[in-house]
Amino acid sequence: MAGTAAAVQELDEHQRVALDACVVAALALSSSEGGAKERMRLLMECHGRYVRSFGGREQAPSYEVFTGRLCGSRVADLLPGRPQGSVLGEMWLLDGDGMPNSALHRLAVEATEHGHQAPGIGADIRHLHSLLRAVGMLPVSTGLSRISGETVQHAVFRTLRAAGFEAYTRGREAMVRTPVLTRRELSRNTALVELGAYAGISPTRQFAGQWAACPMCKWTMRATYRPNGAVDLDCEDERHSLLGARYRAEPTAEGWRLAPRGELRAVPEPLPVEGYVALPYALWLWVTLPGLLEVELRDRLVTLGAEVRLWPFGDAYDLHVTRPGRSRAWRVDVKTWADPYGLAQKLREDPEGSGELCFVVPEHLRGYLPLLRRVVKASGARVLTDVDLVTEVEGA
């Protein structure tokens, strides 16, 4: 998914308009939020934008064909000209049953001008823009537009750093470890309160006034109502969902009961929406998810007796690791990109200053080490998996 923003930038203006319309329409089709008339109005508006995007180059699909193709069609196949060789050719907005895929919300943030209109994700996008304006990253007059991960990270981290290094580290770690907080817990973290990063839990991630956390990232799982009255709960992160973070909630006489739909046997407890606040989708995507391995690595290395500083020297890299009584130090930059080829391109474009850095990728990307090592070879940097790093520090 790391190449999504780059793939969108490669589209021409007409294709971007079409993508915008498809994403908002898919969110409207798959959401139960709002009334039927409001959703129909939004869908008709999206179809109008979609038709105009085709211009005179080819015949635009009718409304029925347009809404039908949103289910089960690859994103690239929905666009005029059908761009080839793009990561968009490997993504679906909705599956064959009309249920949202993990790519949909990310595209709503990174690829749409009108995402604020869409059910479910719209409130998150509006909240994120309010946050960016509050920290001075967007002028008040700036309209809703495409948001990049780099912009969001820079705005959040810059504002937290203004509170001092300890507050920065504490605030950033809280956003990684606890993407959902009680309002009372939030009130104890001044930096996060001033940042305004947390908001009420999105309607699309609650059921019957309740929500449930993904066991892996602790964020709110997406709630999808089924015709039989049950609710499917899925982590928005595709890897977490594939590893088993998916459940079915069913109403019983004693309340809602959750049962696993995947391999994870641990079942999260349904919690009341009232009294809780959560990070919006984009902050979970660009702060929580990348930070999970960073914080986990710090904890694992500390148990080995290492001394570890998170995000040292103004966030020059992610971990500074030393062993008491040893002269060796590890300067670690953690890379959790889902797309190893996109990561390789990123490393290739920005080799300056990477000498002596140790790039660490998740163990499941071990097969891509030869590719990544070739890319950074000239800079003097190394590439290891997290398991390799732990073994190396332990043996030092």
- pLDDT tens-digit profile, the chain (396 residues): 456 777 887 888 899 999 999 999 998 888 777 778 888 988 999 999 999 999 877 888 899 999 999 998 999 999 998 888 778 888 899 988 788 887 888 888 877 777 777 777 778 888 888 888 877 766 665 555 567 777 788 888 888 888 888 888 999 999 999 999 999 999 998 888 988 999 999 888 899 999 999 999 999 999 988 888 899 999 989 889 989 999 999 998 888 999 999 888 889 999 999 999 999 988 999 999 999 999 999 999 999 999 999 998 777 889 999 998 888 899 999 988 766 666 666 666 554 445 578 999 999 989 989 988 888 887 788 999 999 999 999 988
Contact (CB, 8 A) for 217 and 177: no
**What pLDDT score does 164 carry?**
87
Burial status of residue 66 (CB atoms within 10 A of its CB: 0-12, 13-18, 19 or more): buried
Q: Closest by alpha carbon to 281, among 219, 355, 229?
A: 219
What was the pLDDT predicted at 178? 96
∠ CA 271-272-278, nearest 5°, is 85
Contact call for residues 205 and 222 (beta carbons, < 8 A): yes
Strand 210-211, strand 271-272: pairing? antiparallel
Show the tokens assigned to 116. Answer: 């604020």
Between CA 277 and CA 217 the distance in angstroms is: 15
CA-based R_g, the chain, Å: 22
The 3-state DSSP class for residue 199 equals strand
| Beta partners for residue 247, in sequence order | 233, 260
Helices (H), 75-164: 75-78, 102-110, 122-134, 149-161
User: What are the residue boundaries of the structural domains of the chain, listed by start?
Assistant: 1-119, 120-200+278-285, 203-272, 304-395
Burial-class residue 192 by CB neighbours within 10 Å (0-12, 13-18, 19+): buried
| CA 361/CA 80 separation, integer angstroms | 36
Nearest to 164 by CA among 185, 187, 194, 139: 194
